[in-house]
Amino acid sequence: MPKQTRIKSILLLTGSFTFAFLLGEVVHDSGHYLCHKVYGNAEVWVHLDPFGGTCIIGADDLPAEVLAVTSLAGPLTNVALGLVGLFLLWWKRRPILLPLLLWGPVAMIQEGVTFSLGLLTPGGDAQWITTLGVPGFLLLVMGVS
């Protein structure tokens, strides 16, 4: 393979992965935001940070059940839309669609990390989901698999 082709392939893969990761972050937090809007929380804002500092602002004084459901909405939205996009575009595999094709698998990795390591993070999605009665061990198994 010529050197120029190798460089283009590396740039395509790196750029596609980065796009898929950032798209997953936006969709994940949009899921939280929309769920808060469904519950009527008008004072909720999303602070997007591509380096991992993304957070929902203004949701601190809500009941635990509401926080648990809205915490579950982010991962479910990201994985569901990512996998739907993957399956819809699978038959049109072209290099230009690679960022969207990677979104589903990258979303599964993102949310797996959220579930497995999120149990250690105070105030993280996984911690709030356990308040719904979902065992932490089950979240850990789902995150690792």
C-alpha span between 74 and 125 (Å, rounded): 8
Low-confidence ranges of the chain (pLDDT < 50): none
C-alpha span between 145 and 30 (Å, rounded): 25
Q: What is the pLDDT of residue 47?
A: 87
Q: What is the pLDDT of residue 34?
A: 93
Q: What is the pLDDT of residue 76?
A: 92
C-alpha span between 81 and 96 (Å, rounded): 19
C-alpha span between 48 and 30 (Å, rounded): 10
Q: What is the pLDDT of residue 26?
A: 92
What predicted TM-score, i.e. pTM, was given to this entire model?
0.86
Asked whether 110 and 34 are in contact (CB, 8 A), the reply is: no
Q: What is the pLDDT of residue 83?
A: 92
Neighbours of 128 (CB within 10 A): 19
